[in-house]
Structure 1
Amino acid sequence: MKEKIKILFVIYYLGSGGAEKALINLLDMIDYERYQVDVLLFKQEGLYLDQLNPKANLLPIIPEFEKIDSNKKYIKWALKNGKPISALKKVYYFYCWKKGKNIDRQEWELCWSKIPSLKKEYDVAVGYMQGLPIRYVAGIVKAKVKFGWIHSEYEKISKNINFDRYFFQRLNYIISVSDKCTNSICKCLPEFKDKTFTLLNLMSSKLINEKANVGEGDTDKFDGIRLLSIGRLEKVKGYEMAIEACSILKQKGHKIRWNVIGIGGLKNELLTLIRQFNIEDCFILIGERSNPYPFIKQADIYVQTSLFEGKSVAIDEAKILRKAICVTNFNSVYDQLEHEKTAEIVEKNPQAIAAGIEKLIKNPDYRELLSQNLAMERDNSNEELLKHYELFERDL
């Protein structure tokens, strides 16, 4: 019997973000007769932790992660172990970070570079998110082939290209989730063009449709137009524009309820803005949902107001459930959708967002057309999975 390929996936934790969801999907679809899968989390927490496929082996947290989990823990550890200079450096770096300076290199040299490697040597190791997961795999993990996965437009998220270059040159492959994102990496780091590839996020349409019929969305008897957005409560998701767009629609007399699934640091600021626009009754932050699919199925229109994305997992989920979609024209959106064929694509401002939604509200036939066009799209998830296998095994 052929020996299984030993593969490691590293990510911060399994929170409610798109990258985390993409990893959960990949681990649900990967062939466990072909791969022996280990998963290493920096923190064993998050909305999707209990959805991790039981066939994947969740490794114990490395003890050193605990001491660098927070500034207080590290400073306490350093002082207790006779390292006052290290403690002072940590205080200074925190001060620099509060002032808006990038301290990735200093944090790596002080803390993360000292973490020991796992005892096991892998055939393939994957840093499944930009930042520390990639650096840990590139700089510390022992593996024959190393991958770094980037889930967003690199030029929008890169803070220290020269520091990234140090780790990227230690990777065998750099993976992005859309052609636009691949181009972004190659634009910033052209020397890595030959080892940068696009692998689309994997989606099981069968599983998503099954989950859409399990549990409930809203249980109220609201009889207006239901809108839904999914994503972290962060600036990049453009919720300030969404709130103003909702206010415009309300002032025009549209009976709508706009739910937002997600958590994040912007929550209090958004709640204040919702009150200022007097739309508490129709723009509602409903928090995390481990199964968002009944809410997507229930929605009349799925709305994404992002400033930029890599390849939106939530949009792919809305496509599978054949929802009418209104989305802003961030760069990579055209890798997923076509204007007036599979979505209403609008400019990134509140007025355009409101106009796009209004167009869909007033034209149920247009909503149905978008839904029918989505139904005709091919499910290429198996083909994409084979592309993953081919790259994983290319250099073994």
Structure 2
Amino acid sequence: MKKKLLFVINTMGRAGAETALIELLKKLDALKAYELSLYAIIPCGELFTRVPENVRIINKGVNNGSLNSFRGRITIAREILFSFFYRLTGLKAIGYMIKNIREQKASGRKLQYDKLLWRLLADGRPVSEEEYDLAVAYIEGAAVYYLADKVNAKHKAAFIHIDYQKAGYTPLMDKDCYSGMDNIFVVSKEVGEKFCCVYPQYREKVRLFRNLLDQQNIREKAVDGTGFTDGFPGIRFVTVGRLHYQKGYDIAIEVLAKLREEGHNVRWYIIGEGAERRNLEMLTKKYGVEEYFILMGAKDNPYPYINQADIYVHATRFEGKSIAIEEAQILGKTIVASDCTGNREQIESGYDGILVELSVEKLVYELKRILKEPELQKEYAKHVLEKQLDYPEDLEFMLAIMNEEKRR
């Protein structure tokens, strides 16, 4: 009999964790040894169209459009309302909300109401009637809350893709959802350390599981399609990532303005969509770079654009482990990235790329320096192709959990 595996995710929008999950499902599907199921807390997102045919989607109906579209926002609102009224979940959650808002204010952190809604969304779901051999929460927040409380499985595991401290999660918010996990998989060593700063009691459960990528497919797609058609004769920077404060685009706009003021003929292309679009459009007008800081929206195939870029830039405030950086490495690009969690494990600064402090002054300095040294760009691009990006032992360990006699 095939063993039953369930993966739980918050949404299926076009983002790093969701992309990595698709590759994991493809790997497992190819083994022909498992009965695979997928459940999304909010059944919306473009990546539903990429789920392997043999994976059963438990949600009764899914919206495979963008989360940022009108239909996407309606889907999100519908799911929140359903959860609020399901067995009075919303009323029961009021005390939880108040306590966490107070904790956020006391800590001086930015209020993150979306994080609090993850608990409401998870609690406002019926208990799963099936039993699984292994159930995996592939992202933080609602997915792991739902897995902990609503899923019946012989073994459970959770994934951490972010700097847990900077992302704003707390034990009060989580309500000890990790206690019942056999293993907690982290996408980088530093992500594991950051998680253990919040949960030192679970250090023995933490295990490295690096992103899965189809390198051949990425290389093939990079030459499939036209890519840029604007005829721009200057230097092209490319960044891939949703339009979110975390990604540091506000800083990037100011950096671009300074580079152009100093005579550098540069355009910066952003591939991704998100709630910050309007704010970023206003900033480009403020700095006079609306013709040079190009918000391209999401792309089904971003690889021709990455491939045709002169420099791939990833200047984010924090990360877990960037799939976009790994994709740029597969394509042999010169990479400039911020010196933060996740990025530090992906780039050896001065050998296969540049890590730089996330400030306007430092980014301008390093980008100017590499623009003036084309031979250095070639050297970084050569070294980046030497990087190891496949780790089959990570998947083997995860599957071996099911062979344990009982959950730890």
Question: Partners of 1:385 and 1:72 in 2: how far apart?
Answer: 37
Question: Partners of 1:67 and 1:102 in 2: how far apart?
Answer: 14
Choose the corresponding residue for 1:261, options 260, 264, 271: 271
Cα distance change on mapping 1:62 and 1:190 into 2, 3 Å: farther
Question: Partners of 2:153 and 2:80 in 1: how far apart?
Answer: 30
Choose the corresponding residue for 1:10, options 8, 11, 21: 8
3-state DSSP class of the match of 1:167? coil
Give how far 1:68 is off: 7.8
* Corresponding residue of 1:200: 210
3-state DSSP class of the match of 2:133? strand
Cα distance change on mapping 1:111 and 1:293 into 2, 3 Å: closer
1:152-192 Cα distance to aligned partner (Å, 9 max, x none):
01111243313425211121111111000111111211111
Choose the corresponding residue for 1:184, options 183, 194, 212: 194
Number of aligned residue pairs: 386
Indicate yes or no: 2:319 matched with 1:309: yes
Choose the corresponding residue for 1:376, options 380, 386, 402: 386
1:80-104 Cα distance to aligned partner (Å, 9 max, x none):
x9x7x9669779969x979947696
- 1:40 partner amino acid: Y
Question: Partners of 2:200 and 2:262 in 1: how far apart?
Answer: 49
- 1:342 partner amino acid: D
Question: Partners of 1:74 and 1:158 in 2: how far apart?
Answer: 23
Choose the corresponding residue for 2:232, options 222, 232, 237: 222
Indicate yes or no: 2:42 matched with 1:52: no
- 1:16 partner amino acid: R
Question: Partners of 2:364 and 2:14 in 1: how far apart?
Answer: 27
**RMSD, aligned CA:** 3.0
Structure 2 residues without counterparts, runs of 5 or longer: 63-74, 106-110
Give how far 1:384 is off: 3.8
3-state DSSP class of the match of 2:129? coil
Q: Percent sequence identity over matched residues?
A: 30
* Corresponding residue of 1:61: 60
Give how far 1:342 is off: 1.1
Choose the corresponding residue for 1:27, options 8, 25, 28: 25
Cα distance change on mapping 1:270 and 1:163 into 2, 3 Å: closer
- 1:124 partner amino acid: L
Indicate yes or no: 2:39 matched with 1:40: yes
* Corresponding residue of 1:139: 149
Question: Partners of 2:95 and 2:79 in 1: how far apart?
Answer: 11
* Larger deviation, residues 225-234 vs 26-35: 26-35
Give how far 1:149 is off: 0.9
Give how far 1:264 is off: 1.2
Question: Partners of 2:404 and 2:265 in 1: how far apart?
Answer: 55
3-state DSSP class of the match of 2:155? strand
3-state DSSP class of the match of 1:345? strand
Choose the corresponding residue for 2:353, options 343, 347, 352: 343
3-state DSSP class of the match of 1:197? strand
Question: Partners of 1:220 and 1:346 in 2: how far apart?
Answer: 30
Cα distance change on mapping 1:307 and 1:92 into 2, 3 Å: closer
- 1:329 partner amino acid: D
* Larger deviation, residues 208-217 vs 294-303: 208-217
Structure 1 residues without counterparts, runs of 5 or longer: none
User: TM-score scaled to structure 2, two decimals?
Assistant: 0.86
Cα distance change on mapping 1:87 and 1:166 into 2, 3 Å: closer
Say if 1:127 and 1:148, in contact at 8 Å, map to a contact too.
Answer: yes
Say if 2:83 and 2:124, in contact at 8 Å, map to a contact too.
Answer: no
User: TM-score scaled to structure 1, two decimals?
Assistant: 0.88
Alignment of 1:102-141 (within 5 A): 108=119, 112-113=122-123, 115-141=125-151
